[in-house]
Amino acid sequence: MQTGEPAGAAPADIELDKQEWREALEDILACYGTQGVQEILASLGNWCAEQQLPVRVGNVNTPYLNSIPVSQQADYPGDLELEQRLENILRWNAMAMVLQGQDAGTGVGGHIATYASAATLMEVGFNHLFRNQSESYGGDLVMLQPHTSPGIYARSWLEGRLSTAQLKNFRRELQPEGGLTSYPHPRSMPDYWQVPNASMGLSTPTAIYQARFAKYLENRGLKPRRGGKAWCFIGDGEADEPEVLGTINIASREKLDNLVLVINCNLQRLDGPVRGNSKIIQELEASFTGAGWDVIKVIWGGGWDRLLAADSQGMLRQRMEECVDGDYQRYSVLPGDLQREHWVDGNPELEQMMNALSDEEVKQIKRGGQDPEKIYAAYSRAAANTEKPTVILIKTVKGDGLVDAAGSNTVHQKKNFDTVQRIAIARNFGIPLSDAEIERAAFYRPDPDSEEIRYLHARREALGGAIPERNSNCISLAPPPLERFASLLRNPSNRPQSTTMALVRILSILMREDGLKQYIVPIVPDEARTFGLEALFKIAGIFSLQGQHYTPVDADTLVAYREAEDGQILQEGICETGALASFLAAGTAYSIHGLPMIPFYFFYSIFGFQRVGDMIWTCGDMLCRGFLIGGTAGRTTLNGEGIQHQDGHSQVIANTYPNLKSYDAAFAYELVVIVREGIRRMYQQQENIFYYLTAYNENYVMPVMPESEAVAEGIIRGGYCYSSSETIESSQIHLLGSGSIMQQVLAARDQLETLDYRVSVWSITSYNELYREAEFCERQARLHPTEAAPQPYIKAMFADTSGVYIAASDYMKTLARSIAPWMPASYQVLGTDGYGLSESREELRDYFEISAEHICHTALVQLLRTQTKGKRRIQSQIDALGINPDKPDPALR
């Protein structure tokens, strides 16, 4: 209370005032509709603000009740009794999959409780909402909770899409008759799963940006406007992941009416309650309301309707508000009489109300998530939304139907039940198997002609076919001919440029290429100017579903900031997760939409793998295609920026993504060759790979591409000889360079040549490709010891050479060291181990020991070690370099 304020009114008086205000609002509603009520409340809010009152009009929370009143509930379109029978069969089979695995003693695990809580949510969707693509409909993308996978498999088995052997081999992918992957993984089941989601939290941005990308395609005229929704199901515990609430604003800002997020609020996560002391549904309602979503709460099952209708004094409502989730979780395990006691809590009026129910009825009374009619009402409202994204918060019971385990804190990990429990659960579900069959958790499938199976098929047929199902039918695209890139191959202007600029030029050429240009999707976080991409703003436009409602400050310039409804560029703001989700949406459009979109995502290389590595892993799993471009690469080339910006390890991490091809090119023509090859392999050959290219911001004159087939092949395979003083065979020193550090290598070569050494320079475009191919050959040799062993390319490269070998890159030593097993013994590696620091490029290269002087020094030291003649001369050359042997080790700083 503010000082000087009057004391609060007596409760009775204020109740009277409240009643009067409500009546006044009823009049306003009758005269002016909802808009009128809104205006009145807004004007009251403004008045409070003018008075400096710490009061906010309009609550982000509504009462702890269903958002859709009984009077507005849509009629249920299905056969409830039959659907319940079907659901029970699915529940049993889903559980049986996990139990069979336990009985076999394989220890492969599995989950039962999540599906048990979500079964009804999913069944209502499968029977009535989730629609496939057709002539007249764009198709729904359905992403269910990862731990509900047994239920999804059980359904597909009933539909005849999966074999019994597969079901038996849940989590046993290597079994000869086939098996099933634990969670949705398109990589493991490319005809089935569409979107991976086992890493909690990532499916929300994935769904949001998939929904947005569908609009992008429609707005650019690439996809017909035939509707289609993204349905994404997540857990209430999962909603704590920052990626979930961190990306919801974009969905409302862009008015993604094609997005429905369903949060299964079973009030529990793995260890216990999600919000024992408060209410997760209310908390999420506030967050999503604040973010501008439509929020639909499904809290109470139909059994409560009668009680709530009789609650004229609001006692029951008040009790519902007072109880916290910890209480609700407890109610789900208590017998009816004890539940009653807790609900009533000594209140005689409540006691009288609750007396209308027997103890058994109290126990049986359902939550919203167990009531298909309530769920359908919410889903059908969400499906009809044409203005905003919708979140549906549905209260369920974790482990529902699992006799003693439901609602317990340990239920998430529950994987086994004893015989008595198995029989109790199966009988409860009405499964007509013998006790012996139940004991061994046999699957149950009714006759194909049974009412259940016919209904199951009829519903999916009416909705356009099976879900989930993944397609990969897409037209092929060929890369433009090499000549199209003549300006990059021959560099007629001789003007210094960086590899980043070269990539931007490649992109511009692709964006002008007929037959290809419409499919190019440039993506940037808030860094377009860093990479020199701003010139594309005006030409291609920045995609914005709202268009541009202002005159940009730079409207008169050639590089005006142009937002457009059909813009081609995705400028994602400072949100690498969102930008990666856009990359994922574009790079999987060949499968989701049948369109060969080619994303080029430019980002600060340190904010890629290190920042959103798990999203990139998702790209690999989802068979995403496209080019990831790590700009401002290199620990020393990005000068001044210090520890958190200078990337010396992204290439190392990139090697951990098996289907990612990673390159660290030195010259513009190398990039042309790599990008053309990428387009050929991903979009012409339809290979499920993607590319990571590091690009630097150091300017130098790009050399002309040598006219040799071997060079083009070497660029792709990971390395080739760039120059030799005389011949490769006569070289005494071999320098391996990559990226910007190639310039230091070339300077070192010049210095060594003035000392009369013969030097070959090798451009290593990809240590990772060299390493992988050599490992492949090693394995072949190990498994086929009696056959002629294939020679690794790296060995072939240096087969006829001798001398000393020094590698230098702007990356950690381990990158170049990875090929050491196949290199001659005198191979030495220089790299940038240690944290970056704020310094000039020159100082940094000296500090990390990758400067031309350090390269010369290392070559001379190696010569000293390996040569028997001229040692004194070499030592004096080393001394003349003046390298401080006691300089601090950057790796230890």
Of the candidate residues 340, 398, 422, 854, the single one contacting ligand TPP (CB under 6 A) = 398
Spatial neighbors of 280 by CB under 8 A, at least 6 apart, are 236, 239, 265, 267, 274, 325
Residue 202 Cβ vs ligand TPP, minimum distance, rounded to whole Å = 8
d(CA 750, CA 747): 5
Q: Is 571 an interacting residue with respect to ligand TPP (CB under 6 A)? A: no
Q: Which is nearer to ligand TPP, 148 or 210 (CB)?
A: 148
Among 151, 186, 196, 237, binds ligand TPP (CB under 6 A): 237
Binding of residue 197 to ligand TPP (CB under 6 A) = no
57, 82, 198, 474: which one binds ligand TPP (CB under 6 A): 198
314 conformational bin, left if phi > 0, alpha if psi -120 to 50, beta if neither? left
| Residue 629 β-bridge partners | 602, 693
Among 125, 139, 186, 235, binds Mg ion (CB under 5 A): 235
Q: Is 270 in the site for ligand TPP (CB under 6 A)?
A: yes
244 Cβ partners below 8 Å, 6+ apart?
A: 201, 204, 205, 234, 238
Coil, strand or helix at 394: strand
SS3 524: strand
**Bridge partners of residue 234, in order along the sequence:** 263
Question: Tokens standing for 748?
Answer: 């070192």
Q: Binding residue for ligand TPP (CB under 6 A) from 166, 258, 264, 571?
A: 264
* Residue 625 binding: pick among Mg ion, ligand TPP, none (C-beta 5-8 Å cut-off by kind): none
Is residue 171 within 8 Å of 110, Cβ to Cβ?
yes
Nearer to Mg ion (CB atom), residue 347 or residue 409: 409
Say if CB 235 and CB 412 are below 8 A apart: no
State the minimum distance, in angstroms, from the CB of residue 771 to ligand TPP.
29
- Look up residue 289 and give its two tokens: 């309301």
Give min distance, CB of 623 to ligand TPP, in A: 21
Q: Which of residues 652-711 bind Mg ion (CB under 5 A)?
A: none
Phi/psi of residue 207, nearest 5 degrees? -65, -45
Determine whether 286 is exposed, middle or buried from the number of CB atoms within 10 Å of its CB (0-12, 13-18, 19+).
middle
Those residues with Cβ within 8 angstroms of residue 610's Cβ, 6 or more apart along the chain or in another chain:
647, 649, 650, 653
* Residues in region 427-486 near ligand TPP by CB under 6 A: none
Closest distance of CB 264 from ligand TPP, Å: 5
Contacts of residue 892, Cβ cutoff 8 Å, sequence gap at least 6: 834
407 belongs to the binding site for Mg ion (CB under 5 A): no
Site membership for Mg ion, residue 266 (CB under 5 A): yes
Task: Compute the distance between CA of residue 500 and CA of residue 693 in angstroms, rounded to an integer.
Answer: 10
Q: What does the alpha-carbon distance between residue 288 and residue 283 come to, in Å, rounded to a whole number?
A: 9
The single-letter code of the amino acid at 571 is Q
Q: How far is the CB of 120 from Mg ion (least distance, A)?
A: 15
Binding mask 65-94 for ligand TPP (x = CB under 6 A): ------------------------------
The whole-angstrom separation of Cα 241 and Cα 247 is 11
Q: Are 326 and 422 in contact (CB under 8 A)?
A: no
Scanning 22-30, 262-270, 343-351, 472-480 for contacts with ligand TPP by CB under 6 A, the matching segment is: 262-270
The runs of H, that is alpha helices, within 511-571 are 528-531, 535-540
Q: Which of residues 92-151 bind ligand TPP (CB under 6 A)?
A: 114, 117, 145, 147
Residue 237, interface with Mg ion (CB under 5 A)? yes
**Around Cβ 345, how many Cβ atoms within 10 Å?**
11
Q: According to CB under 6 A, which one of 238, 311, 773, 839 is a site residue for ligand TPP? A: 238
Is residue 269 close enough to count as binding ligand TPP by CB under 6 A?
yes
| Nearer Cβ to ligand TPP (184/836) | 184
3-state SS assignment for residue 144: coil
- For ligand TPP, the closer of residues 121 and 633 by Cβ is 121
Stretch that binds ligand TPP, among 135-143, 234-242, 548-556, 596-604 (CB under 6 A): 234-242
To ligand TPP, the closest distance from the beta carbon of 212 in angstroms equals: 23
Nearest distance from C-beta of residue 233 to ligand TPP, angstroms: 9
Tell me if 236 contacts ligand TPP by CB under 6 A.
yes
Q: Which is nearer to ligand TPP, 122 or 320 (CB)?
A: 122
532 binds Mg ion (CB under 5 A): no
Strand arrangement of the beta sheet that strand 827-830 belongs to: 719-724, 759-764, 733-737, 804-808, 827-830
In the complex with ligand TPP, which residue's Cβ is closer, 200 or 375?
Answer: 200
Helix axes 576-587, 203-219, angle to 10 degrees: 60
Is 605 a binding residue for Mg ion by CB under 5 A? The answer is: no
Distance of CA 434 to the CA centre of its chain: 44
**Residue 204 CB, nearest approach to ligand TPP (Å):** 11
CA gap 45, 336 in Å, rounded: 45
Which residue among 90, 200, 748, 819 contacts ligand TPP (CB under 6 A)?
200
Decide: is 212 part of the binding site for ligand TPP (CB under 6 A): no
* Look-up of token digits 């609750």: 354
Instruction: Count CB atoms within 10 A of the CB of residue 886.
Output: 4
Among 102, 199, 659, 866, binds ligand TPP (CB under 6 A): 199
Residue 659 contact, options Mg ion, ligand TPP, none, Cβ 5-8 Å cut-off depending on partner type: none
Q: Which residue is nearest to ligand TPP (CB)?
A: 235
* Helix (H) or strand (E) segment spanning residue 719: strand 719-724
Based on CB atoms, which residue is closest to Mg ion, 66 or 145?
145
Stretch that binds Mg ion, among 264-272, 337-345, 627-635, 783-791 (CB under 5 A): 264-272
Pick from 268, 694, 744, 766 the residue near ligand TPP by CB under 6 A. Answer: 268
**Of 116 and 569, CB closest to Mg ion:** 116
Kindly tell me the burial class for residue 752, based on how many C-beta atoms sit within 10 Å of its own C-beta (0-12, 13-18, 19 or more). Answer: buried
d(C-alpha 237, C-alpha 270), whole Å: 8
Give me the residues that bind ligand TPP (CB under 6 A), please. Answer: 114, 117, 145, 147, 198-201, 235-238, 264, 266, 268-270, 274, 398, 412
Give me the residues that bind Mg ion (CB under 5 A), please. Answer: 235-237, 266, 268
